[in-house]
Amino acid sequence: MGRAEFLDETPERPAKRARHVAIIMDGNGRWATRRGLPRLAGHRKGADAVRSVVEACPDLGVEVLTLYAFSTENWKRSVEEIAGLMNLFRRYMRREAAELSRRGARVVFIGDREGLAPDIRELMAGLEAQTASNDRLTLVIAINYGGRAEIAAAARRLAKRAAAGEIEPEAVDEAALDAALDTGGLPDPDLLIRTSGEQRISNFLLWQCAYAEFMFVDELWPDFGREALARALAAYGARERRFGAVAI
């Protein structure tokens, strides 16, 4: 599902439907703390919210869903929490693989895989291969991801190609950089949602969200599901996207 399939949405004729939704899944730890539970209990409950939202997306017209699962900054958390999150990723990929395939979801991972354990990288590659032919939903999962690092890595790739004489420096334009990103070939997000009431994007899809609509909702991620997503999409549909143009 590449950019060509989104050509009916242009700055002159924007779609009222959010085809690509990106979500910063925030509030798992606070959800657990408020209930006197360990933080990992919140992350486990958050995995249930992932399932609910993934199931809802095709019915609500969402064709691409990008989830911020683990940032490059999340390594600053406690050793125990990081280990628990990595084990949760392992369980999610093993447990959900068959269901994702059944629901027609194609899984794509973005982020720096080299920073992850070998068995996690193997599970990621296996899940991508297993779901590669699915076309009902593209599920993009950002693990060990940072927007600035992604842009820097794309610039390095282009610089190496230019140094090798594969491309001229003048050919390094916005389209070339866009294609060199982890998300190359995917459409930009129409709507970025952050749960838990925080109002920042935390180094997530910095390039791709240049013209996205932002929505900050109060629900903590474990409480976010089909109904909350439907409300967010309805609110998006009432907005006017002008892409820098003047409203008429």
Residue 113 lies in a domain: yes
What span, in angstroms and rounded, lies between the C-alpha atoms of 191 and 65? 10
pTM: 0.90
By the 10 Å C-beta count (0-12 exposed, 13-18 middle, 19+ buried), 20 is classed as buried
CATH assignment at residue 212:
3.40.1180.10
Residue 109 lies in a domain: yes
Residue 149's nearest CA partner among 181, 124, 126, 193 is 181
Reported residue count of the chain is 248
Residues designated as active site: 26, 74
Tokens standing for residue 43: 């992350």
What span, in angstroms and rounded, lies between the C-alpha atoms of 173 and 45? 43
Total number of domains constituting the chain? 1
Under 8 Å between Cβ of 205 and 35: no
- Provide the annotated binding site for substrate: 27-31, 39, 43, 71-73, 75, 77, 194, 200-202
- Provide the annotated binding site for Mg(2+): 26, 213
Sequential pLDDT tens for the chain (248 residues):
444 444 344 443 345 789 999 999 999 999 999 999 999 999 999 999 999 999 999 999 999 999 999 999 999 999 999 999 999 999 999 999 999 999 999 999 999 999 999 999 999 999 999 999 999 999 999 999 999 999 999 999 999 999 999 999 999 999 999 999 999 999 999 999 999 999 999 999 999 999 999 999 999 999 999 999 999 999 999 987 766 665 55
CA 202 remoteness from chain centre: 13
Residue 60 lies in a domain: yes
- Residues 6 or more apart in contact with residue 98 via CB below 8 angstroms: none
- Give the structural domain span for 209: 18-237
